[in-house]
Amino acid sequence: MLSEKLHAAINEQINAELWSAYLYLAMSMDAESKGYKGVANWFYVQWLEEQDHAHILMNYLNSRDCKVTLKPIAEVRTEWSSVLEMYEETLRHEKVVTSLINNLAAIAAEDKDFASSNMLVWFINEQVEEEESARDMIFAVEAVEGNKYGMYQLDKELASRVYTQASPLATSEE
């Protein structure tokens, strides 16, 4: 059984993951409207991944016989001045998510809830990847800043990014 504190915190995290998904969908739509189809694709994949993260947490609560409580998703920003600004906001946001995941891990550790601690290891590792990916994108965009052909090539490359279902979902639904 989860502690009330951890149960509530995971429900809050589900909402945070869905808000993240909504943010990345907004970024995808803004990039698409500006002609950056590859950037739009990159953020669309992020949208799908964030939904997976919420789904994993919902499955976990259900597996622990805890109620999932969905809340309204707060409004997100819908326009950015540049592709670079989108990725800079992505990195800032992912750092916030990392702190939220770390908080969940701290509560689980405090509760001596080893099952929850084990489940959260995947999210901790995922956040390392998320921050690294955002930093890599900032570096790539800065490398071609002011070079229209370079941005065109980067955008084409980003169009090839494909969604892969999060491993905890792939193994749980076989």
Across the range 107-128, mean pLDDT stands at: 97
How far apart are the C-alpha atoms of 84 and 86, rounded to whole Å?
A: 5
The pLDDT, as a whole number, for residue 167 is 86
- Which of 56, 68, 67, 70 is CA-nearest to residue 101? 56
Look over the chain and give the mean of its residue pLDDT values, rounded to a whole number.
96
Contact 42, 130 (CB under 8 A): no
pLDDT tens, residue by residue, 38-76: 999 999 999 999 999 999 999 999 999 999 999 999 999
- In this prediction, what percent of the chain has a pLDDT beyond 70? 98
Q: How confident is the model at residue 172 (pLDDT cuts 50, 70, 90)?
A: low
Across the range 144-159, mean pLDDT stands at: 96
Q: How many CB atoms lie under 10 A from the CB of residue 140?
A: 18
Domain locations in the chain as residue ranges: 4-163
Across the range 78-92, mean pLDDT stands at: 98
Q: Is the pLDDT of residue 117 over 60?
A: yes
Across the range 106-123, mean pLDDT stands at: 97
Query: Which listed CATH number (1.20.1260.10, 2.60.40.1120, 3.30.2130.30, 2.60.40.10) goes with 4-163?
Result: 1.20.1260.10
Q: How confident is the model at residue 174 (pLDDT cuts 50, 70, 90)?
A: very low
